[in-house]
Structure 1
Amino acid sequence: MEGQGDSVMTESKNPSKSMLNGNPVADGDAEKDMTSKDYYFDSYAHFGIHEEMLKDTVRTLAYRDAFAMNEHLIQGKVVLDVGCGTGILSMFAARAGAKKVYAIDCSNIVHSARQIVKDNKLDHIVTVIQGKVEELELPDGCQKVDIIVSEWMGYCLLYEAMIDTIIYARDKWLAPDGIMFPDRAQMYICAIEDRDYKEDKINWWKNVYGFDMTHMRNHALSEPLVDTVDARQIVTNHSMLIDIDMYKVTVANKTFGVDFDLVAKRDDYIHALVVWFSVDFTRCHRNIRLTTSPESDYTHWKQTVFYLDRYLPIKRGERLFGKFAVSPGKQNVRDLDFDVEINFQGQHGYLHSKQSFKMR
């Protein structure tokens, strides 16, 4: 593995004044009354998160090109930006000729977004609104919008459950012939060799200064790791797990189980499965794709790695069968639960197992 793995839990950042249910509250009261869901929104008020996303050129340029290279779709249209952050996507839309842009975010980043929009002399087009999409109405009596844009994707595509909000916004506000930016999303899986990293992060617990801490190894195995995978580690082809049509997807579709079939490209060992995603802007004049594949350029989403309890020796052409199941967390729907089944019978080894993972 390259670099250092990320924790999937977002650190909460508390500004001097916080908003709770739309009302300003003092630090002590906010700290006392906030739930885990409130901390989710509060964390996105911190500039560092937005700096990381804006510096992700793969991400940001894909959205810029979707607007800048497709002005024929944007001219004179009403655009809704869900989870607007600093307002960058809203400003792309305004510069591409949108008649009106409504930019919504629940976190206190909206105060910065309003100033940024004003500083760029786009405040006559872009209106920044603070609140939860599920709890507000659009101003100016607006009932329908022509385009909904959002960078809603989380780690392993569905972490943080922002797709729920996009579905709600689509069903409430998107015009019958409206456009979703992006409008398709796919999740993929492959297998990798990763002996050194697994020894350092997983098997290290077997002997810690002479003590058996295998109990902690079990915890480490149950959490997928978000990190950058070197393309040279990939041992198999990749298999699509799910293809999401953003015009039709429902919240229920987030719970799914799908069989996969991976074919080894060389003689090697398999230590982990890797999941990544791509999204497409298919309504553009020429399809624009944003991908987080380990064989493509770096993005802040990196990839999601699921370490197997046992390594597998596999020969070129041998097949690894399995099932990958995903569901929202039982305690918090922004989390993800995974069940991964492996069925492998090869010349030098076999494995029939099931492992559960929790992304928190």
Structure 2
Amino acid sequence: MATHSHTRARTLKLLSKIALPCVVVPNITDLLVALPSFFPLPHHTRTRTRRFVSTGRSLYILSRSMPAKNMPAEAPGKRGETRSANASKVVLTESLLATDAEKNATSKSLYGDSAARVSGNIGTIHDRKRLRAYEVIFRNVQGKTLLHLGCGIGLYTMLAARSMAKMVIGVDSSAIVEAARVVAERNGLKNVMFIRGHLSDALLQLPVGMKFDYVLCEWMGPLLLNERVLMDALYARDHLLTASGALCPNRASLHVAAVSDYAFRLDTEDFWSNVYGFQMEPMKELVRQEVEMCAIPGGNIVSAPCLAYTVNMDDLEGLTVEETATYEAQANQAAASRDNEEENPVEDRWVPAAVAQRGYEATFTLDITRKATVHYLTFYLDAAFTSKTNPGANFVLAVRPGGHSSWTEVSVGLREPLPVHAGEKIQGTVRVYTPADKGGRITVVEVTAKTAGEVAAIETSGTYYYQSY
């Protein structure tokens, strides 16, 4: 008991020496927040220190680098007494309060909004190859209109606006578009407009009767036809383009390569044979059904890449009459949701287009380049834009596994690894489709592969599932 009293006395004595004239501390929680700001820090950290202490509807910002306003200065040279002299009062304004959209947002509406994270948009900024490809379009957009679907943080949208486009409209379902709108205003861009929602939600917000010379949209998913924005691209192509307008990119191809990576297979699949003494074999089947979404080291590729399938948006089947009617009806539903303050304005209601539900099937032949055991087949994309009227605007955004990739590489683990020698061939098929009963988020990938080489004649097949978020 004596020890406790002695400690309490020392604490009270210490607190009595600390000057807190500029901070009102209504409870112990604010006191605990405030105290660390009033102890000396190393000199090199002082100019970067900021502490925020709440006092009702005001904030006191405690800092050594900011001059005080309307507050008495303390005598210098005493420990703990210079903090109050460098504090300024900031009154809460509307900019610090939650907006209506933020108040109406729910955990359901924000759960899948990974694109709202700034980290999820950094790749777009640093992707120089993609930027150089689109610069070809920006050089030809002067005096024209452009619709950017899936604009994200709005970088390419604003680049088009800065290139003297007549009008540029960016559409994205993510909350990040709110930040893009503020950035455009700060940079004085008057010819750009941002709309939050899918294109089907935003139809009534577009200028009446406006047609676009360019629709910029990365409609391709990691497996070509498994992206939500594909429906938006098809609708925009058929209803929002001018007679001479173009969808960019308008072509994408799926390539495949053989990969040997026993270490990765050991870590992700064979690992389940013995987990701390437990045999967890049933987990293997779950792992085998999942595709792997990761970059492939170039040293693990054991075949020449092979073109498996190409989609040309100029020739791809559009939305059916029923799909178009449903798509346009969503605009009215979205308008009603915006008028109802109790509902979040953006909610995903995706039913895959018929062309995505049917999918595609392709065959491929892989030429093996060295002796190895093939554990995985890796699929990856490239994209291109070809214009019949303006060849100077053409570009190819080519990628390769093991190097730069603008889109995620998708790998499937072979049920039975294939031992091969250099010069052998692997024959295979791939079928990709997105069933309607999975809400558009599950894409089925069916793969077969076989070899009749010098080591062994083996055929393997499997069904895998890609899930989008």
TM bracket (short chain): 0.7 to 0.9
Cα displacement string for residues 275-316 of structure 1 (whole angstroms, at most 9, x for unaligned residues)? 0000012235164222332154244x3411111122111122
Q: What does 1:214-229 align with in structure 2 at a 5 Å threshold? A: 214-229=281-296
How far is 1:232 from its partner? 2.0
Secondary structure (helix, strand or coil) at the match of 1:163 reads helix
Number of residue pairs the alignment of both structures matches? 329
Match of 1:67 in 2: 137
Match of 2:180 in 1: 113
Q: What does 1:32-43 align with in structure 2 at a 5 Å threshold? A: 34=108, 39-40=111-112, 42-43=113-114
How far is 1:142 from its partner? 3.1
How far is 1:17 from its partner? 6.2
The verdict on how the C-alpha distance between 1:17 and 1:352 changes in structure 2, with shifts beyond 3 A counting, is farther
Q: Does 1:84 align with 2:151?
A: yes
Please point out which of 236, 260, 272 is paired with 1:169.
236
Secondary structure (helix, strand or coil) at the match of 1:269 reads strand
Please point out which of 364, 370, 381 is paired with 1:260.
364
The verdict on how the C-alpha distance between 1:357 and 1:131 changes in structure 2, with shifts beyond 3 A counting, is same
Secondary structure (helix, strand or coil) at the match of 1:74 reads coil
Secondary structure (helix, strand or coil) at the match of 1:333 reads coil
Match of 2:277 in 1: 210
Secondary structure (helix, strand or coil) at the match of 1:86 reads coil
Please point out which of 57, 60, 64 is paired with 2:128.
57
How far is 1:170 from its partner? 1.4
Match of 1:236 in 2: 303
Q: Does 1:327 align with 2:405?
A: no
Deviates more, 1:44-53 or 1:173-182: 44-53
What is the alpha-carbon distance in structure 1 between the residues aligned to residue 218 and residue 310 of structure 2?
A: 17
- How does the TM-score come out when normalised to structure 2? 0.65
The one-letter code matched in structure 2 to 1:26 is N
Q: Does 1:99 align with 2:177?
A: no
The one-letter code matched in structure 2 to 1:129 is I
What is the alpha-carbon distance in structure 2 between the residues aligned to residue 243 and residue 18 of structure 1?
A: 44
Please point out which of 429, 451, 455 is paired with 1:348.
455
Please point out which of 156, 167, 170 is paired with 2:223.
156
Secondary structure (helix, strand or coil) at the match of 2:133 reads helix
Conserved 8 A contact 2:136-2:393 = no
What is the alpha-carbon distance in structure 1 between the residues aligned to residue 269 and residue 232 of structure 2?
A: 36
How far is 1:164 from its partner? 2.0
How far is 1:102 from its partner? 1.4
Q: Does 1:307 align with 2:377?
A: no
State the 4+ residue runs in structure 1 displaced beyond 4 angstroms.
16-19
Greater helix fraction, Structure 1 or Structure 2: 2
What is the alpha-carbon distance in structure 2 between the residues aligned to residue 18 and residue 166 of structure 1?
A: 30
Conserved 8 A contact 1:18-1:108 = no
- Aligned-pair identity in percent equals 27
Conserved 8 A contact 1:78-1:98 = yes
The verdict on how the C-alpha distance between 1:291 and 1:18 changes in structure 2, with shifts beyond 3 A counting, is farther
The one-letter code matched in structure 2 to 1:133 is L
Match of 2:382 in 1: 278
What is the alpha-carbon distance in structure 2 between the residues aligned to residue 291 and residue 332 of structure 1?
A: 31
Match of 1:131 in 2: 197
Deviates more, 1:199-208 or 1:344-353: 344-353
Secondary structure (helix, strand or coil) at the match of 2:369 reads coil
Q: Does 1:45 align with 2:123?
A: no
What is the alpha-carbon distance in structure 2 between the residues aligned to residue 95 and residue 186 of structure 1?
A: 31
What is the alpha-carbon distance in structure 2 between the residues aligned to residue 270 and residue 352 of structure 1?
A: 12
What is the alpha-carbon distance in structure 2 between the residues aligned to residue 152 and residue 245 of structure 1?
A: 11
The verdict on how the C-alpha distance between 1:268 and 1:49 changes in structure 2, with shifts beyond 3 A counting, is same
What is the alpha-carbon distance in structure 1 between the residues aligned to residue 446 and residue 305 of structure 2?
A: 19
What is the alpha-carbon distance in structure 2 between the residues aligned to residue 248 and residue 137 of structure 1?
A: 28
What is the alpha-carbon distance in structure 2 between the residues aligned to residue 166 and residue 141 of structure 1?
A: 19
What is the alpha-carbon distance in structure 1 between the residues aligned to residue 440 and residue 305 of structure 2?
A: 28
What is the alpha-carbon distance in structure 1 between the residues aligned to residue 172 and residue 187 of structure 2?
A: 19
The one-letter code matched in structure 1 to 2:218 is E
- How does the TM-score come out when normalised to structure 1? 0.84
The verdict on how the C-alpha distance between 1:18 and 1:334 changes in structure 2, with shifts beyond 3 A counting, is farther
What is the alpha-carbon distance in structure 1 between the residues aligned to residue 461 and residue 373 of structure 2?
A: 19
Secondary structure (helix, strand or coil) at the match of 2:392 reads coil
What is the alpha-carbon distance in structure 1 between the residues aligned to residue 273 and residue 99 of structure 2?
A: 46
The verdict on how the C-alpha distance between 1:286 and 1:109 changes in structure 2, with shifts beyond 3 A counting, is closer
Secondary structure (helix, strand or coil) at the match of 2:396 reads strand
Secondary structure (helix, strand or coil) at the match of 1:167 reads helix
The one-letter code matched in structure 2 to 1:240 is L
Conserved 8 A contact 1:67-1:96 = no
Q: What does 1:9-48 align with in structure 2 at a 5 Å threshold? A: 26-27=104-105, 30-31=106-107, 34=108, 39-40=111-112, 42-48=113-119
The verdict on how the C-alpha distance between 1:249 and 1:347 changes in structure 2, with shifts beyond 3 A counting, is same
Conserved 8 A contact 1:325-1:338 = yes
The one-letter code matched in structure 2 to 1:276 is Y
The one-letter code matched in structure 2 to 1:76 is G
The verdict on how the C-alpha distance between 1:190 and 1:252 changes in structure 2, with shifts beyond 3 A counting, is farther
Conserved 8 A contact 1:90-1:103 = yes
For structure 2, the 5+ residue unaligned runs are 1-97, 318-352
How far is 1:138 from its partner? 5.0
Conserved 8 A contact 1:86-1:116 = no
What is the alpha-carbon distance in structure 2 between the residues aligned to residue 132 and residue 199 of structure 1?
A: 41
Conserved 8 A contact 1:292-1:302 = no
How far is 1:357 from its partner? 0.4
How far is 1:137 from its partner? 3.0
State the Cα RMSD in Å.
Answer: 2.3
Q: Which structure's relative contact order is higher, taking Cα pairs within 8 Å and 6+ residues apart?
A: 1
Conserved 8 A contact 1:79-1:148 = yes
